[in-house]
Amino acid sequence: MNDRLAVFFDPCIFDHDTGRGFFEAKASPYMPVIETHPENSERLRNMYGVLKDGPIAEVLDWHAGETAARSDLERFHLSAYIDELAAIPVSESRAFSSTTVFGPGSYAICCKAAGLVMSAASHVCVGKGRIAYALTRPPGHHAQPDMADGYCFFNNIGVAIEKLRARGMQTAAVIDWDVHHGNGTQEGFYEDPDILTISLHMNHGAWGKTHPQTGAVDEAGSGAGLGKNLNIPMPYGSGDSAYVRVFDEIVAPVVRRHQPEMLFIAAGQDANQFDPNGRQLLSMNGFYELGKRARALADACCDGKLVLVQEGGYAISYAAYCLHATLEGVMNRSASLPDPLAYMQEYTDGIDDFINHIRTSYEMALTTGG
Catalytic residues: 142
Contact criterion met (CB below 8 Å) for 362 and 220: yes
Helix (H, G, I), strand (E, B), or coil: what is residue 172?
strand
Contact criterion met (CB below 8 Å) for 229 and 174: no
Could you give the CA distance from residue 369 to residue 226 in angstroms, rounded to a whole number? Answer: 7
Question: b or e along 29-61 (b: 16 or more beta carbons within 10 Å of the residue's beta carbon)?
Answer: eeeeeebbbbbbbebbebbbebbeebebeeebe
CA distances from 57 to 7, 304, 322 (A): 11, 21, 16
Vertex 204: Cα angle to 155 and 16 (nearest 5): 35
Could you give the CA distance from residue 367 to residue 370 in angstroms, rounded to a whole number? Answer: 8
Could you give the CA distance from residue 185 to residue 307 in angstroms, rounded to a whole number? Answer: 15
Element (H, E) at 198: strand 195-202
What is the β-pairing status of strands 101-102 and 94-95? antiparallel
Q: DSSP readout, 70-85?
A: HHHHHTTS-HHHHHHH
Closest to 189 measured CA to CA, from 264, 295, 110, 96: 264
Could you give the CA distance from residue 246 to residue 358 in angstroms, rounded to a whole number? Answer: 9
At a CB cut-off of 8 Å and minimum separation 6, what does 368 contact?
A: none
Contact criterion met (CB below 8 Å) for 211 and 142: yes
